[in-house]
Amino acid sequence: MKNIIFIAPPAAGKGTQSILLREKYNLAHISTGDLLREASLEDSERGQYILNCLKEGNLVSDDITIELLIERLSKDDCKNGYILDGFPRTVEQAIQYETILKDLNKELGVVIFLDIPKEIALKRIVGRQVCPSCGAVFNDQIDISKPKIQNICDICGHELQKRKDDNETTFNIRFETYMKKTEPLIKHYEELGVLYKINEVDKEKVFKQIEEIIK
């Protein structure tokens, strides 16, 4: 099974697609955000540094992020393939990642760019509800994405939550930042011949296209 990198603007659905892929193909889902949050709980100098960065809203250094990523990629569950979520974000990080893969004797795989209109992404953001237990995502403003029972996860029955930064002001900032930083990264992967673009918003159709790519 191919390794997968998702590039996507906020609320493009990469979290949803990652869950579908993980469950059907037994792929490891590696979120650098989750790695950092887990490492921040360590009783160590590294853990304290990460915790301070997260509390203050500062970026964790690339060296630390890459160190955590190497540790995660070295685990047995990545041998069948994995989904990399949240990394790389820049061309510099992409080049560092490619060096890591050579050292670990792993293939780059495919890079999938989920491209959706800004107005649809905004609607998804302000209505997004996330299950803190299983990671399932719902939306209380989109009929087909609403949970069967209000504020309750269809999958595990846990109470759904809304993220504090899921608002229009924060979204606009994140979207513009994404566009500026991601354009060179998309070009980089296009030049390597591993980039696939999906211009679709229906999650079932998106998943079908992803399956065609990885097969």
* Catalytic residue positions, numbered: 14, 89, 128, 163, 174
What b-and-e string marks burial along 80-91, b requiring 16 or more CB atoms within 10 Å of the CB?
ebbbbbbbbbee
Helix, strand or coil for residue 123? Answer: helix
In single-letter form, the type of residue at position 139 comes to N
Tokens of 181: 């930083």
Calpha distance 56→44 (Å, rounded): 18
Calpha distance 99→109 (Å, rounded): 14
Bridge-based pairing of strands 4-7 and 110-114 is parallel
Calpha distance 142→60 (Å, rounded): 34
What b-and-e string marks burial along 131-145, b requiring 16 or more CB atoms within 10 Å of the CB?
beeebbbbbbeeeeb
Q: 130: closest CA among 113, 112, 95, 154?
A: 154
Indicate the DSSP class of residue 149: B
Helix, strand or coil for residue 196? Answer: strand
